[in-house]
Amino acid sequence: MASVLIVDDASFMRMMIKDILTKNEFDIAGEAANGQEAVDMFKELSPDLVTMDITMPEKDGIAALKEIQGEHPEAKVIMCSAMGQQSMVIDAIQAGAKDFIVKPFQADRVMDAINKVLG
């Protein structure tokens, strides 16, 4: 069973992703509310996958992605973006994100991205 670290500053969004993942029998490694927490928790938990919000306080998702990828090039990170964040999504893919999902989350799209990334 794959473990997932869920990163989003909105607890409601974390809850939505957690709900989709647990229904599909994924293990929730942990939850982080900002990019710095995400980096620290990744080091501690070594999850199989990270879902990372792009816009967050303290350290945004792209900065956190770059830091995680810098230390763990094998890390699998899927970015979560709101509509209209195309340029940020492109930055994230260039920084090493494996895919992205758009809010509001649709369960089948989330699962498609996760299954594709985990192979």
Domain ranges of the chain: 6-118
> What spatial distance separates the first Cα and last Cα of the chain, rounded to whole Å?
13
6-118 domain in CATH 3.40.50.300? Answer: no
What does the pLDDT profile of the chain (119 residues) look like in tens digits?
A: 899 999 999 999 999 999 999 999 999 999 999 999 999 999 999 999 999 999 999 999 999 999 999 999 999 999 999 878 788 989 999 999 999 999 989 999 999 999 999 99
| pTM, rounded to two decimals | 0.95
